[in-house]
Structure 1
C-alpha cells in the first residue's frame, strides 16, 4: 500500500485538514522549485455490494472525507521526483523511457499511472510530487486508489488533457493491475475520482454506467471500526473466491453458452442447476447473486429514504459474507454482532476483501459517542485487542484545491 497513513490525524475537522494541506504545500516548497497545484483525492467506503465487482455485478460505494493531498508541478527535466510526507521517504527516477518497479512499493502507484498514460499516447516530462494524507493504510479505505486517482487527475490538469471519467478510472485501475500487480476491480478508482457529496453511487461493473442515490442524512455518521487485523489472507483468498466463481460460470455455460459471468445468471437458474456444482462453488455463486439483489434493493431504499431497511440489508450482506462467501473472521463478526445491542446503529457489516480490516456502521449522531465507547469496550473484552475508530461523512471525488486560499488562511 502507498504511504498515506493517519499521520496523527485519526479524526476529521477543518483545522486538522487545513494544517495537513499546509504541511504538504510547505514540504513541496522546501524540496522543489515552482508553484504546485494541490489535488485532494478521497478514500472510499462501500456501503453494500462486496465481491460483486469482479463478477460484473453492482456495487454501492461513496467517497469519504479522508483524503490524500498531492502537491504537483512539472520538474522541467526527464526525472520525476516523489516525496511521501507521511513516511518521510524520497524516490527519484527517469520517467522518459521504459518504467520499472521502484523496489520500495509506494512509488509504483505513481509510476503505474505514468506508465498507463504513456501506453495510451499521453506523453509528459518529469513531475515533482509531494503527497500525504489521513486515509488509514490497511483499513480497506483504498488509499492506493486515492493516490492513483490523485496523480492521474493532477497530470490531466497540469498538462491540459481531457480524459472522460470512465477512461480515467480504467487508467487508474490498470496502473494497479498491470504495474503494481494487484488484480483489483474498478470500483475503488471509479468512486474516488467521481464521488459526489451526500450521495452513494450505484456502479454497474460490467457497463460502467453509474447513478447517484441520495444519502443526505446530516443526522448520520458512517463509522469505521478497524479490527487492527491486517488481512494476510485477503490476497490469496481473493484469488480463490474469484476462481470459484469462474468455475461456476464455466459449468453454467455448458447449459447456456450465452452466460459470460455471474451477472448473466438468475437465482432460480442457479438453483435449478445446483446439483452440477460442488457445494462450495454453489455457495459462492449464490452469495454473489443475492448480494447483487441487495444492492438494487438498497438503492430503492435510498430513493424512498428508508434507511432502516437499508441498514437491515447491511446486516444481511455480512451474514452472506460470513456464511456463504466465508471471508469474514472472528473479530469482524464480534464487531457486527455487538452493534445489535447498541442504540442508534442502523446497520453494520464487514467491508472489503475480508479476513480483517474494517466494519462499516451507520450510526445516528446523537448516539455516536455512546456507540464508540460501547463498541470499544465490547471489542476489547472479547478479543483483548485495541479498536481504532474512524468517523466519516460522504464527500466529493477528486478535485483541485485553491492553493492561494490555503496560504492566505495560514
Structure 2
C-alpha cells in the first residue's frame, strides 16, 4: 500500500504545488465466473489492497499535464486537442477525459500525478483502476455530479476507444463499486448487483502469477465468443426467446446443439454450468462453507482447462500441485486464460510454506519466475 503522504510529497516535487484531491482506485480479483460476462451471465469480483493512486489539482490554463511514476515520464496536451497517442499509458487517462467531454462535462486544465502498486501484467486490472481513479478524481475536482456506476461505464468506454481493448464492464465495476469484506455479484446483462459477505476466517486468498502470456489469448477469445454465439443461434431456432447463453439450459444444449456440433456444445455447456457454479459459490459463502467454495473453484478450473480450453500447462501445473494439500481448499486459473494467475484459497498459516515449496519446483520445470501475491479484499474507489 502506498502512503497518502508519499503521493502528496511526490506531487509537490513534480508539479511544485499542492494537490487538491488524492484518489485511490483498486485492482480486482474474480472469485469465480470466467467467460460468463460476454454471455450476459454473472461474475463475482472484489477489489484488492493493491491500487492506483491519482493526485490532481486545477491549473489556470487549458493544459493537461500528466506524470506517471512507474515510467518516470511527463505527458502534456491541450484540453481542446485530446486524441489517442502513440505512448501507451496516457491513453487510459485521455480516454476518460474524452468520454467526459462527450457527456458535456465542463473541464479546465489540470495536473495529474499517478502511482500504484497493482502488479502489472498479472491480470489484476491496473488499467481499469487507472481509468476509475481518473474518472473519480475529475468528478470531484470539477464537481461533475457523476454516480459511481457512471464512472465505471466511462472507464470501460475509455478502454474501448483509446486503449483499443474491447473489455467487459467487470473490471471497472469492481474497482469502483466493491465493499471491503464482501464479493460483488454482478449481473452482466443489466448491471444489477448484490453484495455477499466474504468471511475467510483462518483462510486467505493467494495469487500465483505464472509470468507467462501466450499469444494464443486473443484469437482463442474470439473463437470462444463465436462458439457461444453459434450455440445460441442453434437453440434460438427452437426457443426464439433465447438471446444469450444466459437464457439457455443444459437440456436445450443436449437437444439442439450436441448432435450438430460437439465442440460448440462443450463450450456452451461450460458457460451455462459456470453460472451455476457461481451461484453455488455465493450460497456457500452465505453459509460460511469455505470447503464448498473451494470445491467449486477446483471444478471451475477443470472446466476452463478441459472444456473451454483456455488454460495452459503452467496454470494446470500450479492447480494440480496445490490440490494435494489439505490446507488448500480450492484453486483455479483466473482471467481470460493462457497465462496470468491462479487464485488459491489457502490456510493463512500455510501460505509462506506453500510458496517456499512451490517456487523452486515451478521455476525448474518452466524456467520462469513464480510470483506470489497475497491479496486482501478491500473497498472500491475512494477519496483519501
Bin the TM-score by the shorter chain.
over 0.9
| 1:170-218 Cα distance to aligned partner (Å, 9 max, x none) | 1111111122210110000001001111111110000111111111224
Which position in structure 1 is the counterpart of 2:63?
79
Contact 1:81 1:91 in 2 (8 A): yes
Which position in structure 1 is the counterpart of 2:319?
336
Which position in structure 2 is the counterpart of 1:69?
53
Which position in structure 2 is the counterpart of 1:369?
352
2:27 to 43, 47, 54: 43
CA distance in 1, matches of 2:60, 2:86: 25
1:143 to 114, 126, 132: 126
| SS of aligned partner of 2:129 | helix
Contact 1:198 1:216 in 2 (8 A): yes
Which position in structure 2 is the counterpart of 1:92?
76
CA distance in 2, matches of 1:76, 1:290: 56
Which position in structure 2 is the counterpart of 1:266?
249
Structure 1 segments, 4+ long, off by >6 Å, are none
Contact 1:63 1:397 in 2 (8 A): yes
Which position in structure 2 is the counterpart of 1:57?
41
Alignment RMSD (CA, Å): 1.4
CA distance in 1, matches of 2:117, 2:308: 31
**Residue 96 of structure 1: CA displacement?**
2.1
CA distance in 1, matches of 2:208, 2:175: 20
CA distance in 2, matches of 1:346, 1:225: 15
Which position in structure 2 is the counterpart of 1:22?
5
**Residue 161 of structure 1: CA displacement?**
2.0
Question: Is structure 2 residue 298 aligned with structure 1 residue 315?
Answer: yes
Contact 2:30 2:43 in 1 (8 A): yes
1:355 to 338, 342, 351: 338
Aligned length: 383
| 1:275-313 Cα distance to aligned partner (Å, 9 max, x none) | 464222111111100100001111000000000000010
**Residue 383 of structure 1: CA displacement?**
2.0
**Residue 35 of structure 1: CA displacement?**
2.7
Which position in structure 2 is the counterpart of 1:406?
none
TM-score where L is the length of structure 1: 0.90
CA distance in 2, matches of 1:129, 1:231: 34
| SS of aligned partner of 2:34 | coil
CA distance in 2, matches of 1:209, 1:120: 23
Matches within 5 A, 1:288-307: 288-307=271-290
CA distance in 2, matches of 1:305, 1:231: 37
Q: Which sections of structure 1, spanning at least 5 residues, go unmatched? A: 1-15, 402-410
**Residue 344 of structure 1: CA displacement?**
1.3
Contact 1:321 1:327 in 2 (8 A): yes
Which position in structure 1 is the counterpart of 2:114?
131
Question: Is structure 2 residue 135 aligned with structure 1 residue 115?
Answer: no
TM-score where L is the length of structure 2: 0.96
Contact 2:8 2:19 in 1 (8 A): no
Contact 1:342 1:374 in 2 (8 A): no
CA distance in 2, matches of 1:96, 1:364: 53
CA distance in 2, matches of 1:123, 1:328: 46
Which position in structure 2 is the counterpart of 1:183?
166
Contact 2:235 2:257 in 1 (8 A): no
Matches within 5 A, 1:196-211: 196-211=179-194
Contact 1:53 1:187 in 2 (8 A): yes
